[in-house]
Chains A and B, each alone.
Chain A
Amino acid sequence: MQAIMEKRAIELLENGTVDRVLGWSAGEFPYDMTPAVFESVEELQNNFVYNDFCGANLSKYLIKESRKGGKILVFLKPCDTYSFNQLLAEHRVLRENVYVIGIECFGKVDVEKLKAMGLSGITGIIAKNGVYTVETVYGSKEVKMADAMAERCLSCKSKKHVVYDELIGEEGEVVDDCDRFDMVEKLEAMSPDERFAFWRGELSRCIRCNACRNVCPACTCEHCVFDNPNSGIAQKAAVNSFEENMFHIIRAFHVAGRCTDCGECSRVCPQNIPLHLLNRKFIKDMNEFYGEYQAGEDPNAKPPLGTFQTGDREA
């Protein structure tokens, strides 16, 4: 896959279709790829990588990158294309300056899952026939790919690209029985006290690093309310933990109806808070109240929270 992508990127760079390429560059370890912009064939040849550890959703970078002049090629996984579409709907990305190559995806690895299996001192990871051979300074171990897959990929909602200029690999389908609301249903079945305790426990670990906000493709305000000293809620860390929890709740409200459930918030959380569950609760509620709606699926669709019908449910 990496070789095909690199070859195509070089072609498009050389024939002048694009001026820059947004992809991933190699890391120190087998799993720590960094999103990077490549401006030359040499850079691509030296540093471009694509593998099962390239989980980052690159669509948000296009807000900035599509305004730098020239055309940029971006590689988007199916779930990333929903974010891209949503950004288009919100007029945040200049479509004409972006060349989208959709890439097929069978799920990405969460390296934390490997580490949780006791794998430490990782020096190499080789993928073959659905199995990763993880080499460490303490010996090697085989792990089934499915056991290392990121949580969000286990309940993948769609293997279909909703927008692209060209595709590499096979196009997939929307996954109707993705079970992504299972945990939300479990939370709904809890008593209010249990649910309150669940969230207080999870959110108590928050270190207010803002990674969830900054990575979120739906969080694109030029000036965030939490950065506005006059908003009354602008604190890096609040005086008490209850205030602190409000950050996540307010943020979930703000992205409701626009969140495509890309799962970046939970991926980046250094404290492993399952933030995506807040968003999924909103998605599930909106589906039930106003009919099925998938943000980012169709940039021209009327968002349920942006339209009013006389039959709308009040709460």
Chain B
Amino acid sequence: MEETLIPYAGIVTKITEQTPDVKTFRVEAPNGGKLFEHEPGQCAMLSVPGISEAMISITSSPTNKDFMEFSIKKCGCLTDWLHSMEEGQMITVRGPYGRPFPVDGALAGKNLVFVAGGIGLAPLRSVINYVRDNRDKYGRVDIIYGSRSKEDLVGYDEIVSEWMNTPDFHVHLTIDREQAGWDGHVGFVPNYIAELNLSAVNTCALVCGPPIMIKFSLPNLTNAGFDKTQIFTTMELRMKCGIGKCGRCNIGNKYVCKDGPVFRFDELDALPDEY
């Protein structure tokens, strides 16, 4: 396969405000449909020419045949621009890049525990909706998702109306601090993991969120009986090419863009602590 680094132009057909600083952008090809196919956990390089280009995880499930979606937090020059644009605007997209979650491999037939914090739900949403659309291929699903406040829970409406109504889906939401109008769980995600008495038997965990959340979630998953080979996460480092050549997203001898972004925790253990 040859790579030209030349992107497709796509139209942002819908922008949904998810939280005060997260918006979801629906992207379609100029004559309708998706720009390209992808697998859950893969990423794409999004760009506004003249602003910059950045690697963003594809948050929609590949089972969605009409469009792709990207949930993006406002936190830099490109994302600031994206947050200020209107529907109908074109952006450029290239991809898909990276190693996906092994939905047809290690995860097939398993119970799944999703652990997410804040915008970290974005890459997992692709897997969660893939699992919903292939419900018979997986066992029990637990989703532990936390954010600073109720307003900061990305995709709250979808979680409540769709995920909570999916058979054998158990959604555990939590927010950092008490807040009026919230009668759910309060506390940090890692602690919630410990409270839930999860079973690790025939189960895989998929973790994504701020580094501090991942750091404290890991021992609690281990305590619950999870081996590092049962835990997957997805990484983010600065990238320019997306194909393992520009040389900046490596952790040791692995490139996050090509060998990742999805890693099993025992694989990360073999790498130097530089991320």
Q: Do chains A and B touch in the complex (CB under 8 A)?
A: yes
Where the two chains meet, the residues of A that have a C-beta atom closer than 8 Å to any C-beta of B are 229-230
- Complexed CA–CA distance, A230 and B78 (Å): 12
Chain B residue nearest to A229 in the complex (CB): B77
B165 at the interface (CB under 8 A from A): no
Closest chain B CB from A173 CB (angstroms): 51
- Complexed CA–CA distance, A230 and B77 (Å): 9
B52 at the interface (CB under 8 A from A): yes
Q: What are 3 pairs between A and B in contact, CB < 8 Å?
A: A229-B52, A229-B77, A230-B77
Where the two chains meet, the residues of B that have a C-beta atom closer than 8 Å to any C-beta of A are 52, 77
- Complexed CA–CA distance, A229 and B52 (Å): 10
* Chain B residues within 8 Å of A229, by CB: 52, 77
Closest chain B CB from A25 CB (angstroms): 27
Chain B residue nearest to A230 in the complex (CB): B77
- Complexed CA–CA distance, A229 and B238 (Å): 15
Closest chain A CB from B84 CB (angstroms): 16
Closest chain A CB from B50 CB (angstroms): 11
* Chain A residues within 8 Å of B77, by CB: 229-230
Closest chain B CB from A118 CB (angstroms): 38
* Chain A residues within 8 Å of B52, by CB: 229
Chain A residue nearest to B52 in the complex (CB): A229
Closest 3 CB pairs of A and B: A229-B77, A230-B77, A229-B52
Chain A residue nearest to B51 in the complex (CB): A229
Chain A residue nearest to B77 in the complex (CB): A229
- Complexed CA–CA distance, A4 and B77 (Å): 56
Closest chain B CB from A20 CB (angstroms): 28
- Complexed CA–CA distance, A23 and B52 (Å): 43
Closest chain A CB from B78 CB (angstroms): 11
Closest chain A CB from B247 CB (angstroms): 13
- Complexed CA–CA distance, A250 and B147 (Å): 46
- Complexed CA–CA distance, A86 and B77 (Å): 36
- Complexed CA–CA distance, A309 and B117 (Å): 61
Closest chain B CB from A223 CB (angstroms): 15
* Chain B residues within 8 Å of A230, by CB: 77
- Complexed CA–CA distance, A229 and B51 (Å): 10
- Complexed CA–CA distance, A229 and B81 (Å): 15
- Complexed CA–CA distance, A149 and B77 (Å): 49
Closest chain B CB from A281 CB (angstroms): 36
Closest chain B CB from A193 CB (angstroms): 35
- Complexed CA–CA distance, A230 and B52 (Å): 11
Closest chain A CB from B41 CB (angstroms): 29
- Complexed CA–CA distance, A230 and B50 (Å): 11
- Complexed CA–CA distance, A229 and B53 (Å): 13
Closest chain B CB from A224 CB (angstroms): 18
Closest chain B CB from A238 CB (angstroms): 15
Closest chain A CB from B235 CB (angstroms): 23
